[in-house]
Amino acid sequence: MLRVLFVHLFSIASGVCSAGILYYTGFETNSIPPSASFPTGFDIFYAIPSPDEWKASAAHSRLRQHSIEPESVHTQRGMGKVVYLGGNTTPFAVTSTNQTVRVWRIYNLDPVATNQEIVTFSVLLGINDSTSTAITFLPRRDNFEFSIYNQANQLIGFIQFDNNTLNTSIVPPEPTRRILRSKVVSGNLSKIDTGDVFYHDTIMNLVVRINFRTNRWTAYLDDVALFSDELFYSGNNARNLGSLAAQMQVMNQAQSTTFPFTQQRAPGDNFMLFDDLLVRADRIPDTEIYDFARNAAGSVSFTWLTEAQYRYQVQYRDDLASAWLDTLANSLSTATTTGTAPAFTDTAAARVPRRFYRINRMYP
């Protein structure tokens, strides 16, 4: 009988690795003024033993534009307290930098240097549409985002829920509800359509996974892939984790009704609520080999878990005293996706009574 032994081997230098949860909160404390931090209650601290400080856009601190609301106000049963952005139609003065209303929390982690290259965040979110109308008698609407900043506070990625762009083939026009993602185009951070949409008045679960070493990311909304293993950030700024922000892009302007009749930002009463925010950093999972099979001719086949852009070398030996060999046909491959490798088949295994295998995973 052919006996097979699998050995996991990693050609990866050891480094600091305190992988796991960086932060979790359900915002279960009393409401606070929007200009203050969110001293949340149901939190877990691992790699960041600092006060649980959230920051908010100073330009909007006098507006009730971001706050914690109890279940009695937001009416989503079972969620407890949540954070929301928006829901306030009060115009405010236009400046060069105040189109974005945001709240954020700083993590300051270099995922590659700490050998925790996989950063994942998960959040429950819901978006309510606008009812407040503009001079066009159509509701004023805005866009909402979850954005990633590096340690220099430079934007390096985002996922946007577009509530402003209208489908004009419908009367009256309605939001396209497109979901967009960031992409560097000609050296500038731009955005492209994922081809998926979100739904109003519905709680959704967004999960984003970023490999900072291979510079690839994947996102799911309610277990549906928005995109997989796409290039994350190819610009000139440093690629590390500074902060994660929830943002509202105020898309409309209106003229003040009083002298000197200046232009003002004019948000709609649409809003995004979010809750149960989880942020974690992990090393790449071990290369697990499975689906081992031997056919009637004696050939052996198996698969293993892969990480996109990494190289995988199948090695073997026929006894424990021999050196490992990598001479099997098609035994070196580069993973194009994160998930499962195509089945590898060793036809030469039929000629030996036993064989031992291992997978050597190598950096891109």
Residue 208 is which amino acid?
Answer: V
In CATH terms, the fold of domain 3-13+285-362 is Immunoglobulin-like (2.60.40)
In CATH terms, the fold of domain 20-282 is Jelly Rolls (2.60.120)
Q: E strands of 87-211, at which residues? A: 92-93, 100-109, 118-128, 143-149, 155-162, 166-167, 174-175, 178-185, 188-197, 204-211
Instruction: State the pLDDT at residue 35.
Output: 33
Task: Give the number of other Cβ atoms within 10 Å of residue 326's Cβ.
Answer: 12
Separation of alpha carbons 112 and 101, rounded Å = 30
Instruction: Match 């984790």 to its residue by tokens.
Output: 241
Separation of alpha carbons 286 and 325, rounded Å = 21
Instruction: State the pLDDT at residue 347.
Output: 94
Mean pLDDT over the full length of the chain: 81
pLDDT above 70 covers what percent of the chain? 75
Summarised one tens digit per residue, pLDDT across range 200-250 is 999 999 999 999 999 999 999 999 999 999 999 999 999 999 999 999 998
Across residues 309-325, what is the average pLDDT?
96
In the predicted model, is pLDDT for residue 177 greater than 60? Answer: yes
More confident of the two residues 164 and 29: 164
In three-state secondary structure terms, 350 is helix
Instruction: State the pLDDT at residue 152.
Output: 97
Summarised one tens digit per residue, pLDDT across range 267-306 is 888 889 998 899 999 999 888 888 989 999 999 999 999 9
Cβ–Cβ under 8 Å, residues 43 and 24: yes
Annotated domain spans of the chain? 3-13+285-362, 20-282
Summarised one tens digit per residue, pLDDT across range 9-30 is 333 333 333 458 888 887 765 3
**Beta bridge partner(s), residue 101:** 248
Summarised one tens digit per residue, pLDDT across range 54-99 is 777 754 443 444 556 666 666 677 777 777 788 777 666 666 566 8
Summarised one tens digit per residue, pLDDT across range 323-363 is 999 999 999 999 999 999 999 999 999 999 999 999 999 98
Separation of alpha carbons 275 and 209, rounded Å = 18
Handedness of CA 302, 306, 309, 311 (dihedral sign): negative
